[in-house]
Amino acid sequence: MSKLYFKYGAMGSSKTAQALMCKFNYEQKGFNVFLFKPLADNRCVEDGFAYVSSRIGLKSECIEFSKDDSFFKLCTFYDIIKDLSVIIIDEAQFLTSRQVNELKEISFKIPVLCYGLLTNFKTELFEGSKRLVEIADSLAEIKSVCKCGRKAIINARIVDGKVATEGEEVYIGDQCYEGMCFECFIKRKS
């Protein structure tokens, strides 16, 4: 049965690795998997091809989308809505509410699996994540730990060794973010 899934976690929780392992599993069973990532995530483009890449070395070519793209139109262009098709979205927090609504309708016909952050560095929900929480058929947390050993729930942006609380919502770069528990976030913020 097709559904809209949202699997979320803090920075460093292996969201992308799990998305790529899920893609591999579906492909082994003969499914056509369409892996998407937002244009905002410009970290992995080589020789004109976009890739989704995890910190542990897993990597796969993907289709990029912008905030203006319609998933209805993308599905038509790539001939996605057919038997044995699956859509996987990496960095789903960057989806717009409209795109999530479209993916919900698409999930009536084929599975749609979204992986991403729940909140930004200010501890506020991203637009795409908020809408996914509201209408996804399945929500699953991918857990990770803080340096202190507690569950990481905050995506702290670190600037000059300090926790930042102001700035643009989107800044792409692994090196400036750290998944941490709320207690460590408050301590490092002071």
Q: Where are the alpha helices (DSSP H) in 48-181?
A: 71-77, 97-106, 127-135
CA distances from 107 to 35, 78, 187 (A): 15, 16, 42
Q: How many helices (H) and strands (E) does the chain have?
A: 5, 12
Instruction: Indicate the residue type of 117.
Output: L
Active site residue 91: yes
The total number of residues shown for the chain amounts to: 190
Q: Can you read off the two tokens belonging to residue 156?
A: 């702290």
d(CA 100, CA 81): 16
Task: Kindly name the residue from 27, 61, 64, 91 that is annotated as catalytic.
Answer: 91
Contact indicator for 71, 93 with CB cutoff of 8 Å = no
Residues marked as catalytic: 91
